[in-house]
Amino acid sequence: MLKTNRILYPKGIAVQAKEFARYIEPNDPRLVTVGNERYRVYHYEGVYHYEGAIHDLDDAVMRLAWKADEPMTPDHLHVMSS
């Protein structure tokens, strides 16, 4: 897991992951199940991830996720890279 203050660069604009998450509409994430847990996972252009630059890398895959039974707020945001 990464910190939610991690800098992403969607469309070349620097923004913290927790700030970027504020612009995600409630219907944008897809519901997925991992083990017995359900999550809302943000997808970008039809895929289940943000893909683009982050602070130290030119190209990275980032997943923004919230547990399905929690609000989509920065306090409940999980940021993962792969």
pLDDT of residue 29: 92
pLDDT of residue 58: 63
pLDDT of residue 65: 92
Give pTM, 2 decimals.
0.74
| Residue ranges covered by each domain of the chain | 7-81
Q: In 1-82, where does DSSP find H-type helix?
A: 17-21
pLDDT means per 10 residues in the chain (82 residues)? 75 83 89 94 54 60 89 90 70
Say which residues have a Cβ less than 8 Å from residue 53's Cβ, sequence separation at least 6. Answer: 8, 9, 12, 59, 60
